[in-house]
Amino acid sequence: MTLTIGIDLGTSGVKAVILQDAETVLADAAQPIAVSIPHVGWSEQNADDWVAAVWSCLDSLAASAPQAMAAVSAIGLSGQMLCALLLDKALKPLRPAILWNDQRSIAECADLLARCPDIGQRTNGTPDPGITAPKLLWLAKHEPQVMRDARMLLLTKDYVRLALTGEVASEPTDAGGTQLMDCRTGEWDAQLCDIAGWNPDHLPPITSAWKAAGGLRAQLAQRWGMKPGIPVAAGAGDNMASTLGAGAARPGDAVLTIGTSGVACIVDATFHPGPQRAILTSAHAAPDTFLSMGVVMSATAALDWTARLSATTAATLAGEAEAMDPRKLTEAPVFLPCLTGIRTPANRPQATGRLEGLHPGVDRAMMGYATMEGVAFQFADCITAQREVGAIPARFIAVGGGTRSTLWTTLIATAIGEPVALPARSDIGGPAGAARLAAVAAGASTDVLSAPLPMRGTIDPDPALAERLAPRKARFDALV
C-alpha cells in the first residue's frame, strides 16, 4: 500500500488529497484563493497566497488524518499554467503573478509572431496573451525595473515546490506553456528566450514530470507529522495532471474538462502542432507522449454568468434546463458564450459573446440551455480542429464540475458524436494526476500513470437531440 499526496493549484483555489495506491481517496482538503483584477482584462495573484493555501490544506490533512500523513511516501503537484512569476536574486516575488486569463499583452503577441513567424510550430502554439512570453514583452515595456531585477522565472506549482523543498526546478508539461521551450525536444530554446527578452540563465533546470525534484523540508515535515526528505515530484501543468488523473496516458485517450474554462485534451504519440487553429500542444506527463489541447475560454464560467443575470445559481439553472420539455429546446436562443474571447479554433482573444433568437417566450431555463449548448458546440469545434492537425481521439472521458449535469454531458457527447465515459470521481482529476506522479517519484513503475480508473457510467450521443442540434449549430457558426 502506497500513500501519496496530490496537490492541485487551481485559479480559484487549492485542493489536496491523500490517495492510497494513487486511486482511493483517504482524506482531502480545499482552500480558496482570491484573484485580483486591477484593470479590465487583467488577472493576477500573489504567489505567497498559493503557498499559504497549500499550507492550510496540509494543516487540515494533518489534523484529520495524522496516521495517513505519517505514512505518505511522496508529494505531487499540479498547477494552473501559463503564468508569469518573476523572482529576485533571493527568489522572492517582484510583483504579483500574471495569470493565464490575463489579456493585457495582446499587442505583444503580434510582436512575438513578427519576430518569430514559426513560433507556433516550435512551441505550444500561436502567441496568445494568456501565454508567458508575451507577458514578458509587456513587462519589459511597462515595468522595466521588474525585468532588470528579475533573476528567475517560475510557474505556479514550481514556486510552491520551491517553498516545500528549497529547490528550483520545472518540467516539460508546464514549461512548454512559456513559449521559451522547444516543445518537440523538451529543452529551453536560447533563440526563443532572446526573442522574448529573457536570459536563459534565469530559467529553472528541467526534469521529467514523474521524477523527484527535491525533498520535503525537515521543519515542514515536523509541522505536518510527515517523514522529512520524502520526494516531491516535479509534477505537471493542470491540464496534463487532470488528464493523467482521469486515467488518460495512452495515445488516443481524450479528456474533456468542463470547468471554469473547458479543455479538450488528446494524448498523442507525436508532436502535432496546430497554431493555425489555436491548438496548444505540449509534452504530456507520461513517457513518450504529447498532449493536444483545444481550449474553450468560458465553460462553467459562462453558466455562472447566465445564472447571475437570472438571479439564481448555476446548479438551479442547469436543473431547470434539464427539466425543460425537449420540444422547447428549438425555441431557445442560440448563444456564443465566448465571454473572455475565443482560443480554439479562431484565436480571437478580443471576441465577445453573442446571442441570437430572443423572443417574448424566452425564460431563464432556455437561457441556461443555450449556454450549455453553446459550450458543447465549442467543444465540438475544438475536436474537429484537433483532428484536422493529426491528433486523433479514440476514447473520451469527461471530468469537471459541468459533468454534474447529465444534460450538459449529453449535449457534448451528441455534439462531438462520440460516447463519453464518466469516472467515479470526476472532481479530483488534478490532485489524482499529481498523486500518480508522486507514486512514480517514490519508486513505482511508470505503468501506474496509465492504470484505468473505475467509471460510474457512459453518456452516449442522442440521435433525436442530434437532429435538433444540426440547424442550431449552423446558426451558432454564423455567430462565430
C-alpha cell at position 135? 507577458
Catalytic residue annotation: 238
Give me the residues paired with residue 148 across strands. none
3-9 and 44-45 as β-strands: parallel, antiparallel, unpaired? unpaired
Are the C-beta atoms of 223 and 62 separated by less than 8 Å?
yes
> How far is Cα 145 from Cα 158, in angstroms, rounded to an integer?
24
> How far is Cα 17 from Cα 28, in angstroms, rounded to an integer?
4
Distances in whole angstroms, Cα of residue 380 to Cα of each of 21, 162, 240, 390: 35, 39, 20, 16
Q: DSSP strand E in 211-332: where?
A: 212-215, 231-233, 236-237, 253-258, 262-268, 280-283, 290-296
C-alpha cell at position 22? 494513487
Distances in whole angstroms, Cα of residue 354 to Cα of each of 6, 283, 310, 342: 39, 34, 17, 12
C-alpha cell at position 315? 446548479
C-alpha cell at position 29? 482538503
253-258 and 262-268 as β-strands: parallel, antiparallel, unpaired? antiparallel
Which residue type is seen at 377? F
> How far is Cα 161 from Cα 476, in angstroms, rounded to an integer?
44
Which DSSP symbol is given to 331?
Answer: G
Are the C-beta atoms of 412 and 300 separated by less than 8 Å?
no
> How far is Cα 265 from Cα 351, in angstroms, rounded to an integer?
23
> How far is Cα 382 from Cα 345, in angstroms, rounded to an integer?
6
> How far is Cα 418 from Cα 394, in angstroms, rounded to an integer?
9
User: Please, what is the angle between helix 463-479 and helix 364-389, to 10°?
Assistant: 80
> How far is Cα 263 from Cα 134, in angstroms, rounded to an integer?
22
> How far is Cα 300 from Cα 258, in angstroms, rounded to an integer?
7
> How far is Cα 37 from Cα 320, in angstroms, rounded to an integer?
32
